[in-house]
Structure 1
Amino acid sequence: MALRILGGVARRSSFPLVSLNSRAAMSVYKGGVPTRDEAATGKERVQLEAFKAGEFDPFDREAHYMNDYSEGTGLSKDKPIEVCSSYDRRIIGCSCTVSENFISYMWLYKGEPKRCVCGVWFQLKYKAAPHERYVPEEMLPPKDGKIADLE
Structure 2
Amino acid sequence: MASLLCRARVLAVAGRSLMVSSVRTMSKPGGIPLNVDHATGMEKLEMDMKEAGLEDPFDLKVKNVVPGTRESPTLVPSIFEKRMVGCVCEEEATVVNWMWLEKGGVQRCECGHFFQLTEAAPLQPVQRV
1:112 maps onto 2:108 in alignment: no
Between Structure 1 and Structure 2, how many residues are aligned? Answer: 108
Change (3 A) 1:119 1:42: same
The verdict on how the C-alpha distance between 1:19 and 1:48 changes in structure 2, with shifts beyond 3 A counting, is closer
How big is the alpha-carbon RMSD for the aligned residues of Structure 1 and Structure 2?
2.6
1:91 aligns with 2:84: yes
> Which structure shows the higher helix fraction?
1
**So what's the TM-score if we normalise by structure 1?**
0.58
- The letter of the residue matching 1:37 is V
- CA 1:37–1:44 in structure 2 vs 1: closer, same or farther (change >3 Å)? same
In the alignment, the residues of structure 2 paired with residue 93 and residue 60 of structure 1 have an alpha-carbon distance, to the nearest angstrom, of: 13
1:79 corresponds to: 72
Q: How far off its partner does 1:136 sit?
A: 4.6
Aligned residues of 2:36 and 2:47 also touching (Cα < 8 A):
yes
Code of the residue aligned with 1:52 in structure 2: it is E
Q: Once the 2 structures are TM-superposed, how far is the Cα of residue 90 of structure 1 from its aligned partner?
A: 1.0
| Residue equivalent to 1:134 | 125
Q: Which runs of 4+ in 1 moved over 3 A?
A: 30-36, 135-138
Q: For residues 36 and 80 of structure 1, do their structure 2 counterparts lie closer, same or farther at Cα, with a shift above 3 Å needed?
A: same
Unmatched segments (≥5 aa) in structure 2:
1-21
Alpha-carbon spacing, 1:43–1:19, altered in 2? closer, same or farther (3 Å): closer
Query: Given the two structures, how large is their TM-score scaled by the length of structure 2?
Result: 0.67
The alpha-carbon deviation at position 123 of structure 1 amounts to 0.8
CA distance in 2: counterparts of 1:51 and 1:109, whole angstroms: 29
Pair 1:101–1:34, CA change in 2 (3 A): closer
Identity among equivalent pairs (%): 31
In 2, distance between residues paired with 1:96 and 1:45?
Answer: 35
